Amino acid sequence: MTDILKHIDAGVMTLTFNRLERKNAITSAMYGEMADAIAQAQTDAAVRVVVIQGHESIFSAGNDIGDFLQHPPTTPQANVFRFLRGIAELEKPLLAAVAGPAVGIGTTLLFHCDLVYAGDNAAFSMPFVNLGLCPEAASSLLVPQMFGYHRAAEALLLGEPFYAEAALEVGLVNRVLPPTEVNAYVQTQARKLSGKPLSSVLETKRLMKGVQSKTVLDRMDVEIASFGRMLQAPAAQEAFGAFMAKRKPDFSKI
Ligand code: COA
């Protein structure tokens, strides 16, 4: 069984995180599969809308930390960055169904979605500082823009989780639903979009994204350089070592 399920029906490509035993933590191989699927969606006439979803109990625990240590994404060609550029540049609509925890990239990928629906059990977090890292996916730009600076600082500097109602209030999610209904509801919304004239959908998305598109890609590149460097530095090594050893990290000397 693959860790990313890909299904195309009625013009909707659905990508499902399918690694429940690891809380849908994402490996480099999984990023590669998703990057390839997004590249296919961009050009395949059978795809008019893309959906990313998890399970009703967990969206994603973010980067797989063990895999991260084995395959550190230190170059712009790394699968994770290929995936992130892919969703930032995708011309077709991208929807997400989020239930349960959405950690790290599980939250930051949502800033590149056009519509996001959440279960009332959704818990969003961007604990990059707690891991000795810095934001990715242009979240250092997009989170302050959407949340306002002080709420962004709470989310990105303290790395504390925030929940479905707060995400609704700041505009990160469109609607909160019972967790068992989120995936089905997103399929309904995706099919609505799939039935609309594609040329008009594409042009409307392009116009809404506007001049911001290049700024987002530029910010991703700046973040990638910092992220790659910080991944090898003592703080991240301590944070990841502590996670693997199931102990609290000790940053007192870093
Ligand atoms: N990378 C690798 N393994 C992970 C993981 C990750 N990001 N997240 C969870 N796992 C593993 C756990 O180590 C555990 O493994 P074990 O069964 O061998 O002990 C298993 O998945 C189940 O996780 P657990 O923590 O017991 O589940 P939970 O329901 O109590 O909590 C989370 C779920 C997502 C809140 C919690 O696992 C978590 O915070 N994970 C780390 C998230 C993180 O820091 N991600 C990196 C972002 S850059």
Question: DSSP letters of 42-89?
Answer: HH-TT-SEEEEE--SS-SB--B-HHHHHHS---STTSHHHHHHHHHHH
Distance CA 185, CA 206 (A): 25
pLDDT tens-digit series, residues 164-200: 999 999 999 999 999 999 999 999 999 999 999 999 9
Residue 218 has what pLDDT?
A: 98
Distance CA 239, CA 63 (A): 13
Q: What are phi and psi of 100, to 5 degrees?
A: 70, -165
Ligand 1: which residue has its CA nearest to atom 32?
Answer: 61
Q: What percent of the chain has pLDDT over 90?
A: 97
Residue 3 has what pLDDT?
A: 98
Ligand 1 center to residue 198 CA distance, Å? 39
pTM: 0.98
Q: Which residues contact 126 (CB under 8 A, 6 or more apart)?
A: 104, 107, 108, 135, 139, 143, 155, 156, 159
Quickly tell me which residue has 């969606």 as its tokens. Answer: 41
Is the pLDDT at 1 greater than 90, yes or no? no
Distance CA 181, CA 7 (A): 19
The mean pLDDT of 28-50, rounded to a whole number, is: 98
With contact defined as beta carbons under 8 Å apart, do 18 and 4 qualify? Answer: yes
Residue 91 has what pLDDT?
A: 98
Determine if ligand 1 sits within 6 Å of the CB of residue 47: no
Ligand 1 center to residue 243 CA distance, Å? 9
Is the pLDDT at 5 greater than 90, yes or no? yes
DSSP 8-class letter at 26: B
Distance CA 207, CA 236 (A): 39
Distance CA 163, CA 215 (A): 28
Give the other-Cβ count within 10 Å of 167's Cβ.
23
The confidence band for 140, taking pLDDT boundaries of 50, 70 and 90, is very high
With contact defined as beta carbons under 8 Å apart, do 186 and 117 qualify? Answer: yes
The confidence band for 74, taking pLDDT boundaries of 50, 70 and 90, is confident
pLDDT tens-digit series, residues 111-132: 999 999 999 999 999 999 999 9
pLDDT tens-digit series, residues 198-238: 999 999 999 999 999 999 999 999 999 999 999 999 999 99
Ranking 46-55, 65-74, 112-121 by mean pLDDT, the lowest is 65-74
Ligand 1: which residue has its CA nearest to atom 1?
Answer: 64
Determine if ligand 1 sits within 6 Å of the CB of residue 30: no
Ligand 1 center to residue 62 CA distance, Å? 9
